[in-house]
A and B are shown apart, each in its own frame.
Chain A
Amino acid sequence: MANSPLVARPTDALQPPKSLPPSSGGTPSGGLPRSARGQQIAALARPTMDLMEQMNEDEKNKYIKGKKLGEGTYANVYLGHSRLDSSTQVAIKKIKVQKEYQDGIAPDAIREMKYLQKLRGHANIIILHSVFSSKDQNLNLVLEYLPLGDLEMLIRDVDHVRYGAADIKAWMGMLTRAIWWCHDNYVLHRDIKPNNLLIAADGEVKLADFGLARSFADPGVRMTANVITRWYRPPELLFGARHYSGAVDIWSVGLVFAELIIRAPYLPGNSEVEQIALICREIGTPTEENWPGVTQLKEYTVPSDVVPVAGKDKYMGRFGAVGSDGVDLLTKTLVLDPRRRITAREMLEHRWWKADPKPTPKHDLPKKTAGAEEKLAADLKRRNGMVEDDDVRGSKVARKLDFGTAR
C-alpha cells in the first residue's frame, strides 16, 4: 500500500509538481525560502515525483499525436493513434492553460475527467482512454475518435440528409440510454444538446462533453442554476432553482427529440426572458396549479397572459411524424413540473420503443461524412454552454449560413 501513488498524493500536493533543480531558484508559489529545510523536503519528495513523472511519460508515449483537427480558445484537438497499433485512432484534446485557472486545472476539465472515468463502459458515452500532461503542464485527454460528426450536423443539413421516424427512434434510444446510464450512476450531465451527441464510425451516438457534469447533490447542497445551453434549459433552472434532479437533463432530451422531428431548434430563445416566454407560449405557463411551489422560486417571472398547458393535440400537429406513442413520450419529457417529468428509466420503459416502426439498426442510420472531422474538433474544443451562451448562438447563425453556401 505504501507504494500506491494514491496514498502518496497528499504529501505531493504541498509541492509544485515539477521538481526544480536547486540552482533555478526557490519555488515562488510555495513561498518557501531557499533554505536547507526546503531542499530537504524536496529531496524527500523527489523519488515519488520522479515515479509520477515516469508514469506520465509512459502514458504519453502510448499515443502518437497526429494532425491538428481544430483549435479553439479552450482546447486544441488532435487526431492521434496508439503507438502499438496505428489503426486505433483517438482524438487528443489538449486543454489550454486558462487565464482564470493558471494555478491548476480548469473546473470543466476536472469534471470531464472525473465523470468520464466514472461512466466508462457504456456504449453511448464517449470513452476516455487516458489522461496525461505534456510540457508546460498541459492536460491532454485521450478520447475516443468519433469520425462522423454530430447530430446537429445531420439535423441542420436538410438538403442532403433525410431521415425518418425509425431513425429518430434509434437516435433517441441511444441518447436516452446514455442519460439513463448517467442518472443511474448519479451523474447529471447538464449540457445535453445535439452538438454534444457525437456519432461513431458505426453510427452509434455517443454523449460527449462532460464539462458541466456533476454528481447528484445531497439535500441542502446548492447547485448552480446557470447550466445547460439556453435553448435546452428547463424552466426550473430558468427560475433559478438550486436544488434540482435528473429531470433537468430529461427536459433537454425532450427538446433534442423535438428538434430531431422538426429539424430546427424548438425553443430558440435569444435571452433567458425570451426563453421563459417561449416555454410559456409553446408548452404552457407554469403556475401553482400545474407546478406546486413554482412561485416560490427565486427568479420566477412569467408573462402576464397565462397560457394553459398544451394538450397532446397541439403536439400532434407539429410532431405527429413519430406517431401517437412518440408524441406521448415527448409530452411527458416536456412536463413543466420537474417532479412529474418522466425519468430516464421510465422513458426506456415507454411503449414507443416497442411500437412500429422498429428503430433503424445503427449501421443503416443516415450519416454524413464530409466535414465531419472538423465538426468533431469543433465540438470537442468548444467551451461549455454555461460560459459562452451568447457566442454559441452567434456561431449557430453563422453556421446556418455556412450550410447554405458550402453545398
Chain B
Amino acid sequence: MARPLDPLGFEDEMCPVCKSRKYLNPDIVFVFNPECYHSMCLNCANRLFNDGPNQCPHAGCNKTLRRKGFRSAFFGDLAVEREVDIRRRVAAVFNQVEDDFETLQDYNNYLQMVEDLTFELVNGTDERRRQAEAQLQAWEAEHRADIERNKKAGREADEISRVRLAAERDAVRQRRIEAIKEAEAEKRERVRSREMELDNLAKGTTAMTAEPATKVQLKRRGQVNRVAETASNPAIATTGMGTGASEVERLSIRGLKEKPKAPAPQGPYDPFGGMDFAPSRYKLHGGLSHPLMEKYRLDRQHVAGGYSFDDFAARALYEAFAGLGVFVEDEKEVGSGIGLSQETSMAAGIAAVVDADKMDLD
C-alpha cells in the first residue's frame, strides 16, 4: 500500500480500465463502488454499468456492481474510505451511550466489544469478517427498538444543540448590530456636541458651558451601555437557560427510562415492607400482670400520659426470650452484627465518661 510521494497525483491517478490519467484529462473524476472499493473513472463506470449490473472490471474481482452504488471518494486512500464506511455503519447499530450502562466498567467493556468487532470487519480475514458481520446483523435484529430509541434521542440532542447554537449566533448578531448602532449614535452625539460648542463659542459664552455637555454625553454613554446589556442579555439568558434546563431534564428522564426496564413484579402493596416482627418462641396474650405494673396501673400520671403497660409486658417477655437461639461463638465466626471494634471505640470514649449511666437518667 506504500504510495509514492506524489503531491500532484500524476502517478497514481490513473483509471485502471481506460488508462486515462489526470495529467492528460484534468477533468477526470474517479468513482468507486463500496461493494469492492475498486476505483475507476466516471466515464468507465457510466459506460460499463449503464446497461444494468455488471462485473467489476478489476482483474480477479468478481463482485457484481450497479451504477447506482458508485460514488466519489472523500478520502484519497480508499482503505480509509472503507474503514470510515464500516465505522459509520457499526456506530449506527451500536449507538448506546454511557447513560445506558449501570457502571463505567460496563460501558468500557461495551466500547471494547464494539471496537473488536469493528477491527474484525475492517482488517479481519474473510472467515472472521463473515463472523463479525453475522454478529452485527444479529445484534441489529435483536436490539432494533433500542437502536431506534437511541437514534431518536441522538437526533433530539442534535436538535437541541442546533437550536442553542442558532440562538447564540442570533444573540451575537444582535449584539453586533447594537454595537454598530451605539457607535453611530455616539458619533452623531459627538458631532452635535461639537456644533453646540462652536455655537456657544460663537455666541461668546465661556468654555464653562461646554464642559457639562461632555459630562452629559459621558453619562449617557454609560446608560446606553447598560440599556444595551439588559436588552441583549435576557435573550441569551432565557434561551441559554431554557435549552440547558431541558437538556438536563431530558437526560435525567432518559436515565429514568432505563430503570423500569426490569419492572419488578408488582404484587399488592405490602405496608409492612415484607418484614414481620412477631415473636416465634412465645405468644403474647393481653392482660399480663406483674406487681411492678399493677402498682402504677392506676397512677394518674401514667394513665394520662398514655403509658402503655402492654408495651412494657411485651418488652419484658421479648427480653426474657431474646438470648435464646443466639450463640456467641457462631456470631463471632460469621462476623455478623456490629463489629467488635465499634464496641471498642465506643468503649474508649465511654471510659472517660465519669458516670456513663447518666445517659439513661431521663
Q: Is the CB of B305 within 8 A of A338?
A: yes
Q: A52-B344, A55-B341, A293-B303 are in contact. Are A339 and B308 (CB under 8 A)?
A: yes
A402 contacts across to B, CB distance below 8 A = none
28 A-B residue contacts at CB 8 Å?
A13-B351, A17-B349, A17-B352, A59-B341, A104-B352, A111-B359, A117-B338, A132-B342, A173-B269, A173-B271, A214-B360, A219-B293, A219-B309, A220-B295, A241-B304, A241-B305, A242-B305, A243-B299, A243-B302, A245-B305, A245-B306, A293-B300, A297-B305, A339-B306, A348-B272, A349-B271, A358-B269, A363-B256
Would you list the 5 A-B pairs with minimal beta carbon distance, nearest first? A338-B306, A104-B353, A241-B305, A293-B304, A245-B308
Q: Is the CB of B312 within 8 A of A104?
A: no
Residue of B nearest to A9 (CB): B347
Q: Is the CB of B292 within 8 A of A218?
A: yes
* Other-chain residue from A12, A224, A364 in contact with B347 (beta carbon distance below 8 A): A12
Counting chain A CB atoms within 10 Å of each CB, the highest count among B307, B356, B358 belongs to B307
Q: A177-B271, A291-B304, A338-B306 are in contact. Are A214 and B362 (CB under 8 A)?
A: yes
Q: Is the CB of B349 within 8 A of A137?
A: yes
List B residues 273-315 near A (Cβ within 8 Å): 273, 275, 277, 292-293, 295-296, 299-309, 311-312, 315
Q: Is the CB of B277 within 8 A of A104?
A: no
Q: Is the CB of B342 within 8 A of A177?
A: no
B256 contacts across to A, CB distance below 8 A = 363-364
Given A52-B348, A361-B266, 11 more A-B residue pairs with CB atoms under 8 Å apart are A6-B340, A12-B347, A13-B347, A186-B311, A216-B308, A216-B315, A220-B295, A223-B362, A224-B362, A245-B307, A293-B303
Q: Does B346 contact A (CB under 8 A)?
A: yes
Q: Is the CB of B312 within 8 A of A218?
A: yes
A133 to B347, CA, bound (A): 10
A183 contacts across to B, CB distance below 8 A = 311
Q: Does B343 contact A (CB under 8 A)?
A: yes
Q: Does B318 contact A (CB under 8 A)?
A: yes
Q: Does A296 contact B (CB under 8 A)?
A: yes
Q: Does B339 contact A (CB under 8 A)?
A: yes
Counting chain A CB atoms within 10 Å of each CB, the highest count among B268, B272, B292, B296 belongs to B272
B266 contacts across to A, CB distance below 8 A = 361
B303 contacts across to A, CB distance below 8 A = 292-293, 339
Q: Does B231 contact A (CB under 8 A)?
A: no
Query: Which secondary structure characterizes the binding site on chain B?
Result: helix
1/0 per residue, CB under 8 A from B, across A8-41: the answer is 0100110111000000000001000000000000
Q: Is the CB of B305 within 8 A of A131?
A: no
A59 to B347, CA, bound (A): 14
List A residues 107-136 near B (Cβ within 8 Å): 107, 110-111, 113-114, 117, 120, 122-124, 130-133
B309 contacts across to A, CB distance below 8 A = 219
Q: Is the CB of B275 within 8 A of A122?
A: yes
List A residues 241-268 near B (Cβ within 8 Å): 241-248
A247 contacts across to B, CB distance below 8 A = 306, 308
Q: Is the CB of A241 within 8 A of B301?
A: yes
B interface residues, Cβ below 8 angstroms from A = 256, 259-260, 264, 266, 268-269, 271-273, 275, 277, 292-293, 295-296, 299-309, 311-312, 315, 318, 338-354, 356, 358-360, 362
Q: Does A377 contact B (CB under 8 A)?
A: no
Q: Does A319 contact B (CB under 8 A)?
A: no
A380 to B352, CA, bound (A): 25
Counting chain B CB atoms within 10 Å of each CB, the highest count among A15, A56, A224, A239 belongs to A56
B349 contacts across to A, CB distance below 8 A = 17, 104-105, 133, 137, 139
Q: Is the CB of A130 within 8 A of B315?
A: no
Measured CB to CB, the closest approach of chain A to B147, in angstroms, equals 25
B301 contacts across to A, CB distance below 8 A = 241-243, 296-297
A15 to B351, CA, bound (A): 7
Measured CB to CB, the closest approach of chain A to B261, in angstroms, equals 11
A358 contacts across to B, CB distance below 8 A = 269
1/0 per residue, CB under 8 A from B, across A70-111: the answer is 000000000000000000000000000000000111010011
B350 contacts across to A, CB distance below 8 A = 13, 104-105, 110
Q: A218-B292, A353-B269 are in contact. Are A107 and B358 (CB under 8 A)?
A: yes
Q: Does A281 contact B (CB under 8 A)?
A: no
A358 to B268, CA, bound (A): 9
* Other-chain residue from A59, A236, A339 in contact with B339 (beta carbon distance below 8 A): A59
Measured CB to CB, the closest approach of chain A to B13, in angstroms, equals 56
Q: A16-B352, A122-B275, A216-B315 are in contact. Are A354 and B347 (CB under 8 A)?
A: no
Counting chain B CB atoms within 10 Å of each CB, the highest count among A6, A15, A341 belongs to A6
Residue of A nearest to B318 (CB): A186
* Other-chain residue from A104, A174, A363 in contact with B356 (beta carbon distance below 8 A): A104
Residue of A nearest to B252 (CB): A369
Q: A13-B350, A214-B362, A296-B304 are in contact. Are A220 and B271 (CB under 8 A)?
A: no
Q: Is the CB of A12 within 8 A of B345?
A: no
Q: Is the CB of B259 within 8 A of A245?
A: no
B348 contacts across to A, CB distance below 8 A = 17, 52-53, 56, 133
Q: A13-B350, A104-B350, A246-B308 are in contact. Are A120 and B338 (CB under 8 A)?
A: yes
A296 contacts across to B, CB distance below 8 A = 300-301, 304
Residue of B nearest to A5 (CB): B344
Residue of A nearest to B342 (CB): A131
Counting chain A CB atoms within 10 Å of each CB, the highest count among B260, B292, B301 belongs to B301
Q: Is the CB of A220 within 8 A of B341?
A: no
Q: A15-B351, A105-B349, A218-B312 are in contact. Are A236 and B359 (CB under 8 A)?
A: no
B354 contacts across to A, CB distance below 8 A = 103-104
B295 contacts across to A, CB distance below 8 A = 219-220
Q: Is the CB of A103 within 8 A of B344?
A: no
